[in-house]
Amino acid sequence: MGRRVFYTVAGTATLIFAAWASTSVSFQWQPAPETIPGNAARDLAIREKPRRASVINYTRLDQRLNLLMQEESMVGLAVAVIEDGEIRFIKGYGVTEAGGTEPVTHDTIFRWASVSKGVAGDMIAKLADEGKLGLYEPVGKYSASLRLPGGAEHRATISDLLSHRLGIFGHANDSKLEDGGDARMLRADLASLKLICPPGTCHAYQNVAYDAASDIVEKVTGKPYRQAVQEELFRPLGMTSATLTRDGLLTAESWARPHRGGKNSKPVEVTDSYYRVPAAGGVNSSIKDLAVWMRAQMGHNPGVLPPGVLASVQSPRAATPGELSRMRKFRERLSKASYGLGWRSYDYAGHKVVGHRGGVTGYRSLVMFDPELRSGVVALWNSSTAQPGGLEFEVLDMLYRLEPRDWLGVDDMLPPESIAAEDTEGPSRQG
C-alpha cells in the first residue's frame, strides 16, 4: 500500500494519521512547509523513503493518558512523541481551565518553566561555536549584573554558570524574586552570600544567577535576549508560537490557565516572576513547537544548531546525585544523572538520554529523548501534580522494548484482567 495522509479528529486534538506499508501505523503531525522559513522547511519535510516500523504502542499510550486524565489532579495536558526523527504522535487532553469547555489542542500555549534553560544553553553554545565568546571565559567578563562572593564571578566560567556550578547554595534569592525583587539587583546581591565550594567544583541549581545568561547574550549580540533567541533559534526552526513574555501567554488565542489544584480548583494568577529571568524560565509555546524544539536537539536542524553545539550542551559536566534521590521511584532503570549546559542527562537502562523538567506555579513540563535513536517525548500540563512525569519513562520502556512498568500510576484504575492484557501486548510485540 502506498503512503496515505488524511485528517481525523480524536478526542480533543486534530491529528494527521499516516499509514506506511501494511502494518506500520502512527499518529503524525508536520507543519505546512510554506509556513516555515529557510532550511527548517527542508529539514521538517516528510522524506519519501522507508522508515523503521514503530516500536511505540501509541494506542496503549493514548489509553493510559486517558486514564491519567481521570485523576482529580489533572486539568489539561498536551503530549507529543518523536520516533526515528519524526513527530508520530501529538494530542491534547482535558481543558484549558477547570470547569470550562475549551479543549486543549496541539496549538494550546503552556509555559515551559525550567525547560527554558536549554534555550539559554543552546544560544550561548551557538555563540561560542561562532567564535563570539569562550565557554571557559569568566562569566564576569560578559555579565554586568552577576556578583559572587569574593569576586568569584571572575573565576567562575560561563560553563560553570550554565551547569549550575557557581559555588553558591541552590535557588539563591528565588524567594526574593517571587516577592517582586528586581532580577538584576538580586544577582548583584549574591555577593553578600558565602561560597559553599569553589566555583566549578559542586552543583547547586540556580534561577536568578542562571539568568546572567541573558546578560551574556545581550552583550555579545547587542540585542535583547528575547529578540536574539527569536531571531537565532525560534524563527529559523519555525517555532511560530514560542514567546518569552507574560503577554505572549495571555494574548494567545488558546492558552492553558494555571492551577495549583485539579479539576475542582480555580485558576491562579500568572505572575511575572520567572518571566523576569527569561533564560531560566521564560518560554511559552504549544506542544507542537516544543516537539520541534526537541527534534532540533536530535540534530535535525544543523543549519541552526550544528552538531558541535549539541555535543557541547548535552555532554555531562556536573554529577547530580541529588537528582537520582529525587527520582528514586525510577531507580530500577535510572542511573548516572548529570548536568550539561542547560540540559540533564541520564543512563536509562544502559542508554544515554537527555532532557529537562520544569515547574512554575500551575504549570509543569518535561522533555526526554535518546539522541542516538532520535526518539523522545515532550509534555506540558496546567496543574501542579508531578504524576505525568512518569510518561517519559513509559515511552522509553516502549522504545527500548523493556517490560512495562506503571510509571504513570494508573494501573489501579484498571480491572486486573485489563492490566494483564496490556502486559501481554507490550512493546516487545510491536513493529
- Domain limits of the chain? 4-114+224-429, 121-221
Amino acid 53: pLDDT? 86
Amino acid 304: pLDDT? 98
Grid cell of 205 as nine digits:
541549581
Nearest Cα to 229, choosing from 293, 299, 315, 156? Answer: 293
How many residues are there in the chain? 431
Nearest Cα to 230, choosing from 153, 371, 314, 123? Answer: 123
Amino acid 384: pLDDT? 96
User: Rounded CA gap, 106 and 252, in Å?
Assistant: 13
Amino acid 415: pLDDT? 61
User: Rounded CA gap, 176 and 271, in Å?
Assistant: 14
Torsion of CA 360, 172, 200, 365, to 10 degrees: 0
Q: How many CA atoms lie within 13 A of 418 on its CB side?
A: 10
The model carries a pTM of 0.87
> Sign (positive/negative) of CA torsion 399, 404, 408, 414?
positive
SS3 content of the chain, % helix, strand, coil (to 5): 40, 20, 40
State the 10-residue block means of pLDDT for the chain, 431 residues long.
Answer: 31 32 33 36 41 91 98 98 98 98 98 98 98 98 98 98 98 98 98 98 98 98 98 98 98 98 96 97 98 98 98 97 91 95 98 98 98 98 97 98 97 61 30 29
Looking at the chain, the number of H-run helices and the number of E-run strands are 16, 13
Amino acid 166: pLDDT? 98
* Arch. (CATH architecture) of 4-114+224-429: 3-Layer(aba) Sandwich (3.40)
The per-residue b/e assignment along 220-245, b for 16 or more CB within 10 angstroms, e otherwise, is: bbeeebbebbbebbbbbbbbbbbbbe
Amino acid 312: pLDDT? 98
Amino acid 60: pLDDT? 97
Amino acid 413: pLDDT? 77
